[in-house]
Amino acid sequence: AAATNTVVVTINYRVGALGFLVVDDPSCTPNVGLLDQVAALEWVRDNISAFGGDPDNVTIFGESAGGGSVLSLLAMPAAVGTFQRAIVQSGATDLLLDRERAVLVTEAVARCAGLDRVDVDALRSMSGPDLIAAQAQAAGELFMTVGTMPFHPCVDGVVLPQTWLEAAESGFNPVPVIIGTTRDEMDLFKMFDPAAATLDDAGLRARLGATGKNVDALIDAYVATGTTAPPDVWARVNTDTAMWLHALAIAEARSAHAPTWMYRFDWEASSPEMGAPHGVDIPFPFTTIDVDGWDTFIEDPEQAMSLASVIQRSWADFANDGIPTLGDTEWPAFDRETRSTAIFGRNITVESDPNGQVRQAWNT
């Protein structure tokens, strides 16, 4: 804040069952965790001038679930006008729930709470610790039906009336946006799929075949980028399908309606097998690489501080006037023709359509 002449506000909001249970009852409001965030933005609008801030010049930003929250706020009617710009760090995923899956989550929580049906009054009367215990048990049961992280916002038709991509495609709330991912997002989660470490070509082809895409075209595209070993190809596939392709689709859609910038974060973790994983970018906008243990997670932390300073300035310039800067490097806005993407690594570069052959293989 002091270095960039900005006022930084962090917030809390309800998560898990307390924030994202969906119940088919008119007395129950869905997605209250998102409405908590809107309430915080309304507080900023009404009070930030007392702290030296400008209520008409608010930028929201978040990473991972925080990035997903930013995308949800971009799609929410209740949030329109509470912010003027947005930054999405590693938040574009396919984890939004439809109503059918959200109902499965609520039914599982009720069952794990000892109820034979979804009883609103009974759920409301539960103690906090009991509800959290039911939530934890339900998360285990929902692993195969809803996914590893079942307590997510739901496209409920009211609070969140459309998906992130649908909102982007329709031009809803067309504020300027920066959006991006780390290069190796899903490498942080390799331990959940130990069999991938010994994949051979046949195993890789079997997994790729399940996607319904042209397997040969996909493998050729990854090989063209220098990724050849089956375990490495699969790691890239995980990152691309879980994060990058979703971020790219949103950038494509939003760029038709509002200024949009895209980036890829390449600075690596200290553990070689992780590459540039999910979360490695968190301390860079804050230039806090040297605190809270980040210096043991990030490769070459002293050199990383120079990149952190550039990113902090870029985010702050975007917050101040809507144009992100990269020092002496020009960062053009993203469009479908050039697909300009800033690469944050040992050197800061801007590439046109990075990994374009991979993109094309997935989109055909």
* Annotated active-site residue in 64, 257, 299, 309: 64
DSSP output for 228-258: -SHHHHHHHHHHIIIIIHHHHHHHHHHHTTS
* Apex 55 CA angle, 87 and 250, nearest 5: 20
DSSP label at residue 188: G
Q: Give the separation between CA 74 and CA 68, rounded to whole angstroms.
A: 10
- What's the pLDDT at 173? 99
Q: What does the pLDDT look like over 320-359, one tens digit per residue?
A: 999 999 989 999 999 999 999 999 999 999 999 999 999 9
The answer to whether residues 64 and 156 touch, using CB atoms and an 8 Å cutoff, is no
Task: Please name which of 32, 54, 361 lies closest in space to residue 219, comparing C-alpha atoms.
Answer: 361
pLDDT score recorded for residue 319: 97
Q: Which tokens hold the place of 59?
A: 């930028």
Top pLDDT among 147 and 97 is at 97
- What does the H/E/C string look like for 98-150? CHHHHHHHHHHHHHHCCCCCCCHHHHHHCCHHHHHHHHHHHHHHCCCCCCCCC
> Looking at residue 296, what is its pLDDT?
87
Read out DSSP for 273-298? Answer: GG-S-TTTTTTTTTT-TTSTTHHHHB
Task: Select from 147, 44, 151 the least CA-distant residue to 102.
Answer: 151
Examine the pLDDT at 1 and tell me if it is beyond 80. Answer: no
Task: Report the topology of domain 176-362.
Answer: Rossmann fold (3.40.50)
Is 257 known to be catalytic?
no
Going by C-alpha positions, the residue among 364, 5, 341, 60 that lies closest to residue 214 is 364
Amino acid sitting at position 179: I
Q: pTM for the complete prediction?
A: 0.96
Residues 6+ apart with CB under 8 A from 238: 185, 186, 189
Query: Three-state DSSP class for 327?
Result: coil
Catalytic, 351? Answer no
Per DSSP, what are the bridge partners of residue 180?
89, 263
Distance CA 94, CA 153 (A): 11
Range among 194-198, 258-262, 268-272 with highest mean pLDDT value: 258-262
Query: Please, is 200 exposed, middle or buried when counting C-beta atoms within 10 Å of its C-beta (0-12, 13-18, 19+)?
Result: exposed
Q: Using the CB atoms, write b or e for 259-289: b if 16+ within 10 Å.
A: bbbbbbbbbbbeeeebbbbbbbbbbbbbbeb
Provide the 3-class DSSP secondary structure of residue 212. coil
The two most distant CA atoms of the chain are separated, in Å, by 63
Contact 340, 350 (CB under 8 A): yes
**What is residue 302's predicted lDDT score, i.e. its pLDDT?**
87
**N-term to C-term CA, the chain:** 45
Q: Residue 302 catalytic?
A: no
pLDDT computed for residue 128 by the predictor: 93
Give the pLDDT band (50/70/90) at residue 183: very high
Q: What is residue 193's predicted lDDT score, i.e. its pLDDT? A: 92
Spot the catalytic one: 90, 278, 314, 340: 278
- Does residue 308 contact residue 298 with C-beta atoms inside 8 Å? no
